[in-house]
Amino acid sequence: MRKYIFIIFTLVAFNACNDDFLERPPLDTLTNDNFWQSEAHLRSAANSLYSALSGKDLLNMFESMGETAPWAITTAYRTIGGGNYSTDIAQVNNIWVRAYYNIGRCNYFLNNYKRATAVTEAVRERYAAEALFFRAYDYWLLTTLFGDVPYITSELNVYSPDVFRGRDSKTTIIDSIAADLEQSYKKLPAFIQPASAEFGRISQGAALTLLSRIYLYNERWNEAAGAARRAMSLGYTLYSTGDKANDYRNLFNFTGRASRVAANRETILAYVYNFDLGEDARTSHNLSRELWVPNDYSRFTPTKRMIETWLTADGKVWNPASVSTYEQVFENRDPRMKQSILAPNTAWEGRKDGNPNNTNTSVFTYPKFSNDKDGCMTYSGYYLYKYVEPSKVGQVSQDDNDIIYFRYAEVLLNYAEARERAGALTQATLDSTINLLRNRVGMVPLQLSALPAGSDIRKEIRRERTVELFFEGHRYPDLIRWREAEVLGEDLLGVNRRWLDPAKLPAGILTTLKWKNVGGDQYLIIESGRTFNPAKHYLLSLPFTQMQRNPNLRPNNPGWD
C-alpha cells in the first residue's frame, strides 16, 4: 500500500421499477450490479475495511482509559477509565457504532466478493481473509469491552431480523472468530516486506498475532501459545542495529518506521500515514507535537505507577526511597525507561522547560509546571519520549509516523504468558522470548532462579509486558483481562515532591500544586475521585442509545441497570 490511500467505495442502489429499461444500471456508473468485476474492484472494497484500524485514536482511547499514561486533563475516555460515567456517554456509543459499522462493511464484502469470477480464486480469497481479519478484530474489541454482544455475520437491511438481535454469548463469538482466522490465515501472504508497496496490508503474521491475542484474552493458553509459535516461524525479528541505547526508541520514530525502513522486520502491522502525498490524499496525525507541545501542556501524562514499574538496571524492584533527586529517578534503571520517558539533559523540541536557569531551549533539564504558553508544561512531572519524532514537534498535524498495531515483541510476550499460564514455562522459553527483548537494550536477563525479591514469575511476565508495550494501547485491556483493574480506581499521581529542587524551578511554584501523602512522601495529584467497582466496571455499560433502539439487548451488564 505504498500510496497509503484507502479508497472508500460507494455503490448506488436504484429503486425497483416496472420499466425494464429503467432497471438497467448505467454503464458509466459503478453500482452494486457492475462493481464486483475486477481485482481493482476487490482491492478498492477491501481497502475500505482498513478503517477498522483507528490509527492514533487507539492511543487516545486505551491509554486514556488506563493509568500509566492517560490524557493530561479530563476527557471522556479518562472518565470511563476512572469509573465516573453514565450509560449515555457518547464515547461508549461511538465504540459500539464504529465497530458495527466496520463489521457491516466486512459482511457486505464477504457476501459479494465471489461475484468477481474473472479474478483468480487465490486473489479473491486473500481479500476475503482480510475481511475476516477485520471482522474478528472488531468482535475481539467488542467482547473485551462489553462481553456478550450481537453476533452478526450477514448483510442487514431494514427488514432483517438481526437488526433487533439480542446478545450472543462471548464464548460463541470467540469460537467463531477464532475458527474464521484459523481457516483463512494461510490465504494471506506469510510476510509482507517492510518499506514495500504492500506494507500495511494484512499478512499471516497479523492474523496469527490477532489470533494469539484472542486466545490469550480468553484464557485458551495452549491455543494462544500455538498461534504465537506459528507467527514466530514467519521471518519476523526484533528491530536492532546494535545500538542498545536507542534501538527500542527508534522503532517508534522515523529512524526505524517500517513503512520506510526495510530493516524493521519487527512491525507486523501498522497504520501507515503519508503527509507527502497531494493535498487531497495526505494523511497525518499530531502525536509528536502533542507529547512535547511547545506552547501548551503535554497531552499524555506518564504517572507515578509507570515510573515505579521499570526495574533497576540489575533486575531488582526499584525503591522510590533510594533516590533523592529528579535526575536520579532515571539512573540505573531498565534502559527502556530512558527510551520511553524524557530524562534530564536530553535534546528536545519543547522550547522552554521548567528550569529558569536553563538558557538552552534545545535541551530538557527540568519539568515545567506552569502553563504560560512558552514551553511544554506537564501535569505529572514527566514527559513521553517514546513515539516522539522530533522533526515533527514544531509542526501542527503533519506527523506521519507509523502507529504500530502488532509487532513481534507482542508475539513473544503472548507466547511467554501463555506458556506460564499453561504451567509449561521454562528458562528456555524466557530466553527465546522476554530475554530477547531485554538483550536488545542491554538489560539483564530474567532468570527463573533469581526473580526480584517479593515478586513471582507471573508478576514479572506482566511487568515485562507493561514495560515493553508501554504506550501502545495495551494497558487498559490487559488490566481488564488480568482482573487487576482495581488500580484504575486509585488517584492518578505524578512526581515525588522530595525529588524536586526548588532552585531549579520558579520561586513558589511547588506551593501552587496539589500533593498527596503516600508513605510519608508527597506526590503530585493529577486526578482524584476515581472509582472502580469490580462487580460493575470490568465490563462497560451497553450504550443507552443502542438499548433504546433495540430493547433485545437488555439486560445491561451487571451493575449498570
Give the DSSP letter string of 22-62: HHSPPTTS-BTTTSTTSHHHHHHHHHHGGGGS-TTHHHHHH
31 pLDDT above the threshold of 70: no
Confidence of residue 299 (pLDDT cuts 50, 70, 90): very high
Distance, in Å, from the CA atom of 549 to the CA atom of 492, rounded to the nearest integer, reads 37
Confidence of residue 7 (pLDDT cuts 50, 70, 90): very low
- 229 three-state secondary structure: helix
Backbone angles phi, psi at 139, to 5 degrees: -70, -30
CB 364 within 8 A of CB 345: yes
Residue 333 DSSP code: B
296 Cβ contact partners less than 8 Å away, ≥ 6 residues apart: 371, 373, 376, 377
What pLDDT does 9 receive? 37
Task: Count CA atoms within 13 Å of residue 85 on its CB side.
Answer: 26
What pLDDT does 59 receive? 97
What pLDDT does 30 receive? 53
Q: Is the preceding peptide bond at 445 cis, omega within 30 degrees of 0?
A: no
CA angle in degrees (0–180, nearest 5) for 15-17-19 = 145
What pLDDT does 20 receive? 41
What pLDDT does 225 receive? 98
What pLDDT does 6 receive? 34
302 pLDDT above the threshold of 90: yes
What pLDDT does 461 receive? 98
Confidence of residue 495 (pLDDT cuts 50, 70, 90): very high
In this prediction, residues 149-175 reach a mean pLDDT of: 95
What pLDDT does 279 receive? 87
Q: What is the CA radius of gyration of the chain?
A: 25
Torsion-angle region of 219 (φ positive above 0: left; ψ -120 to 50: alpha; else: beta): left
Mean pLDDT, the chain, whole residue set = 94
Distance, in Å, from the CA atom of 272 to the CA atom of 2, rounded to the nearest integer, reads 9
46-67 pLDDT, tens digit per residue, is 999 999 999 999 999 999 999 9
| Nearest CA-CA partner of 291 in 365, 392, 366 | 392
Domain 1-55+87-170+531-561 of CATH type 1.25.40.890: yes
131 pLDDT above the threshold of 90: yes
CB 467 within 8 A of CB 334: yes
Domain boundaries, the chain: 1-55+87-170+531-561
What pLDDT does 33 receive? 75
What pLDDT does 235 receive? 95
451-489 pLDDT, tens digit per residue, is 999 999 999 999 999 999 999 999 999 999 999 999 999
Single-letter amino acid code for the residue at 501 = D
